[in-house]
Structure 1
Amino acid sequence: MTRTEAKDKIIFALDVHNLQEIDRFAALLSGKVGMFKVGKELFTTAGPAAVEAVKRHGGEVFLDLKYHDIPNTVAQAMLAAGRMGVKLANLHALGGPEMMSQAAEAVRTNFSDSERPRLLAVTILTSSTQETLSAVGIDHPVEQMVVRLAKLARESGMDGVVASPLEIEAIRAACGPDFLIVTPGVRPAFAAVDDQKRIMTPAEAVKAGADYLVIGRPIAKAADPAAAADLIVDEIVGGC
């Protein structure tokens, strides 16, 4: 794997509070990572301006808002995401097949294939454990639920899923080689585990079949974020 291929797999989580911090990280990392993730806190604070700020620096955006609502509302939200020019956008697979299908149909009807966002379904959050699922009435094992939701997402027209790296191989076996797998819960060898429960190193996740790795604090909290991103690229290339 080349360094460019490894770099393009990294999605930097822009877990920041204002547009000035977006500009700082986008300037530092635009040539070091493949994409920037705009999540709930940042989007609630800055709105579409957060996406625009990343794009001004030439970056691609993963809009990580995890929609879960009635089907028409989610479909309209995905159209709005497409109009912002994001590369990836997501919703919760637990919203069900009708919600996912309407979202997929909306973006495929209103955008060309080259311009539409790729839609991802969130399976089970990487912070969740078996106890977490049991508390809300889901008694199936985490791994079984992840694969079940991934298959439902594929059948409903999703382009891929967001899932723990520990489920990558099972998802790939169930959903095929062209189904995108985006994995948070990735921690480089030099980084702390923090609040993630089901994790792998970047090299392990890519070797298992991940298409993209969401990485935030190991880069953002480093003394030199650009150097930290380079170290992660080194890990991926060295392990693959």
Structure 2
Amino acid sequence: MRLSIIIPTLNEAEAIGVLLADLAPLRAVGAELILVDGGSRDATLARARGTVDQILHAPRGRAAQMNAGAQAAAGDLLWFLHADTRVPAEAISALRAAWADAVGQSLGDRNHGRREGFWGRFDIRLSGRHPLLRLVERGMNARSRLTGIATGDQGLFASRVAFDRVGGFPPLALMEDIALSAALRRLARPVCLRARLLASSRRWEQGGVLRTILLMWRLRLAYALGADPVQLAGHYEGRNRPRGDR
């Protein structure tokens, strides 16, 4: 497969080097790494140079940044990763196996129907030790498997054909991952990989774990009821915005 990994960044100097080290073995065997920066003022770009294939600049906002990366990508499979994610080797193996199955490589055929609707996400584990975070991660994994909706923390991936067919990430200030999942779900149910990414728990810890859980529930409910994503983004950033996020 030709895999393109797209990483949106904004002031991620502390995290980006660790993620790129996790992805170095993939790059060594031909994966394309694309970093799309939204205006970092720290050492993010300096620390990424030489370890990615492209550094792009786009207007701040994950939707715009990830769409810019996807447009520049050469891969048949697009994988969107947050800069503060850790990627264990078993997650890479699981993705390879799922893609090989989708395109029928194990049988030596070309199963285009499955390939064109191929998309999915990983289970996650949150990095912090607070007991409530164990409930958060289990709830996220179970809810996603049940509903077919994924979040950006879960390492969304999609075939180029599926991503283009739904028009990429909608230009939303918040909930772009939810909206993309809903569009892709109309093509096919997601592949829910049980291999776990390690997702940063900083937004919960910096905002207060219980307080952030309640905030995210309110935002998700408001979005489902038709609230303006721009207003929701302003509320999110004003109440629970960790350094470097979005």
Q: TM-score range by the shorter chain?
A: under 0.3
- TM-score (ref. length: structure 1): 0.26
- TM-score (ref. length: structure 2): 0.26
